[in-house]
Chain A
Amino acid sequence: MSKVIGRRLLLTIPLLFFVSLIVFALAQLVPGDPAVTIAGEQATAARIEEIREKLGINDSTLVQYGRLVGGLVQGDLGTSLYSEQKVTDALFTALPITLSLAGLALLFVIVVGIPFGLLAGTRPGSLLDRILTAVAALGVAAPGYWVGILLIIVFGLGLGWFPTGLYVPFGESPTRWLYHLILPAFALSLAGIVEVTRQLRSSMRDAMTADYVRTARAKGLRQRTVVLKHALKNAAVPLVTVLGLQVNVLLGGAIALELVFGFSGVGALAVRAVQNRDIPVIQGIVLLSVVVVSLSNLLVDLAYGWLNPKVRAQ
Chain B
Amino acid sequence: MADRADVAVPTGPEVWRRHAQDHRVEQSLDESSAPLSARARFLRRFLQQRPAIGALTFLVLIVLAALFAPLLAPYDPDQNDIRNLLSGPSGDHWLGTDHLGRDTLSRMLYGARVSLLAAVQAVSIALVLGVVPGLLAGFFGRWVDVVIMRATETIMTFPPLLLAIAIVAVRGPGLFNAMLAVGVVFAPRFARLVRGLVLGVREETFIEASRSIGTPAHRILRRHVLPNILSPLVVQISLALGFAMLAEAALSFLGLGVRPPEASWGALLQVAYNNINRNSFQAIPPGVAIMLCVLAFNLLGDGIRDSLGKEIRRGT
- Interchain nearest-CB distance for A312 vs B (Å): 14
B154 near A30 with CB under 8 A, answer no
Contact status B154-A256, CB under 8 Å: no
Q: How far is the CA of A19 from the CA of B159 in the complex (A)?
A: 13
Which of chain A's residues have a CB closer than 8 A to the CB of B295? Answer: 137-138, 140-141
Q: How far is the CA of A101 from the CA of B110 in the complex (A)?
A: 35
Q: Verify if A150 is at the interface (C-beta below 8 Å from B).
A: yes
Q: How far is the CB of B84 from chain A (nearest CB, A)?
A: 21
Q: Does B209 contact A (CB under 8 A)?
A: no
* B141 proximal to A (CB < 8 A): no
Residues on B with beta carbons closer than 8 Å to the beta carbon of A255: 161-162, 165, 250, 254
Per-residue B-contact encoding for A278-313, CB less than 8 Å = 1, 0 else: 110010011001100110010010001000000000
Q: Which B residues are CB-close (under 8 A) to A115?
A: none
Interface size on A, residues (CB 8 A): 56
CB distance B250 to A256 under 8 Å?
A: yes
Which residue from B167, B253, B284, B299 sits with its C-beta under 8 Å from A145?
B253
Q: Are B287 and A141 in contact (CB under 8 A)?
A: no
Can you list, as one digit per residue, whether each of B280-304 has a CB less than 8 Å from chain A (1) or not (0)? 1001100100111111001100000
Interface-facing stretch out of A50-58, A65-73, A120-128, A242-250: A242-250
- Most chain A CB within 10 A, of B162, B172, B246, B249, is at B162
Q: Is the CB of B165 within 8 A of A271?
A: yes
A141 close to B150 (CB less than 8 A): no
Per DSSP, are chain B's interface residues mostly helix, strand or loop, or mixed?
Answer: helix
What chain A residues lie within 8 Å of B163 (beta carbons)?
286
Q: Confirm or deny: A218 has a beta carbon within 8 angstroms of a beta carbon on chain B.
A: no
Of B150, B276, B292, the residue contacting A157 (CB under 8 A) is: B276
Chain A nearest CB from B5 CB (Å) reads 10
Q: Is the CB of B162 within 8 A of A251?
A: yes
Taking the complex as formed, is B255 at the interface, i.e. its CB lies under 8 A from any CB of chain A? yes
Instruction: Contacts A146-B290, A149-B269 given; indicate if A252 touches B256 (C-beta within 8 A).
Output: no
Within 263-277 of B, Cβ neighbours of A (below 8 Å) are at: 269, 272-273, 276-277
Flag if B276 contacts A149 (CB, 8 Å). Answer: yes
User: Given the interface contacts A18-B150, A259-B254, A293-B159, does A141 sit within 8 Å of B292 by beta carbon?
Assistant: yes
Residue in contact with B153 in the complex, picked from A15, A256, A271, CB distance below 8 Å: A15
Determine which of A253, A277, A293, A304 lies in contact with B158 in the assembled complex, contact meaning CB atoms within 8 Å.
A293
Q: Which of A238, A251, A271, A285 contacts B255 (CB 8 A)?
A: A271
Chain A residues with CB under 8 Å of B158's CB are 22, 286, 289-290, 293
Q: Does A168 contact B (CB under 8 A)?
A: no
In whole angstroms, how far apart are the Cα atoms of A277 and B172 in the complex? 8
- A23 and B280 CA atoms in complex are apart in Å by 40
Task: Report yes or no: A15 in contact with B298, Cβ–Cβ below 8 A.
Answer: no
Residues of B148-197 at the interface with A, using a CB-CB cut-off of 8 Å, are 150-151, 153-155, 157-163, 165-173
Let me know if B287 and A149 touch, CB within 8 A.
yes
Q: Is the CB of A274 within 8 A of B169?
A: yes
User: A286 CA to B155 CA in the complex, in Å?
Assistant: 11
Is A286's CB under 8 angstroms from B162's CB? yes
Across the interface, name the chain A residue whose C-beta is closest to B161.
A252
What 0/1 pattern do residues 233 to 271 of B give for CB contact below 8 A with A?
000000000100010011001111000000000000100
> Max chain A CB contacts within 10 Å: which of B166, B254, B269?
B166
A279 touches B4 (CB 8 A): no
The docked-state distance in angstroms from the alpha carbon of A293 to that of B154 is 11
Which secondary structure characterizes the binding site on chain A?
A: helix
Known A150-B287, A275-B255; judge A29-B162 contact (CB<8 A): no
A115 to B294, CA, bound (A): 26
Closest B residue to A259 by beta carbon equals B254
Residue in chain B with minimal CB distance to A29: B170
Check if B277 sits within 8 Å of A157, measured CB to CB: yes
In the complex the two chains form, is A152's CB within 8 Å of B276's CB?
Answer: yes
Q: Decide yes or no: A145 and B250 within 8 Å by CB, A26-B170, A248-B159, A252-B160 being known contacts.
A: yes
Contacts of A141 in B (CB 8 A): 242, 246, 290-295, 298
State whether B291 touches A143 (Cβ < 8 A): yes
B295 and chain A: residue at smallest CB distance: A141
Docked complex Cα distance between A30 and B250 (Å): 23
**Contact mask B126-166 → A, CB, 8 Å, 1/0?**
00000000000000000000000011011101111111011
B71 within 8 A of A: no
Contact: A241 with B169, CB < 8 Å?
no
List B contacts of A285 (CB < 8 A): 162, 166
How far does the alpha carbon of A290 sit from the alpha carbon of B250 in the complex, in Å? 21
Cα A27 to Cα B169 in complex, Å, equals 10
B residues bordering A, Cβ < 8 Å? 1, 3-4, 7-8, 150-151, 153-155, 157-163, 165-173, 242, 246, 249-250, 253-256, 269, 272-273, 276-277, 280, 283-284, 287, 290-295, 298-299
Given pairs A137-B298, A142-B290, A289-B162, 9 additional interface contacts (CB within 8 A): A31-B171, A137-B299, A141-B295, A146-B287, A149-B287, A259-B254, A274-B169, A286-B162, A293-B158
- What are 12 inter-chain pairs, A to B, with CB distance below 8 A? A15-B157, A141-B293, A142-B290, A146-B283, A150-B283, A150-B287, A152-B276, A238-B7, A241-B7, A255-B254, A271-B255, A274-B173
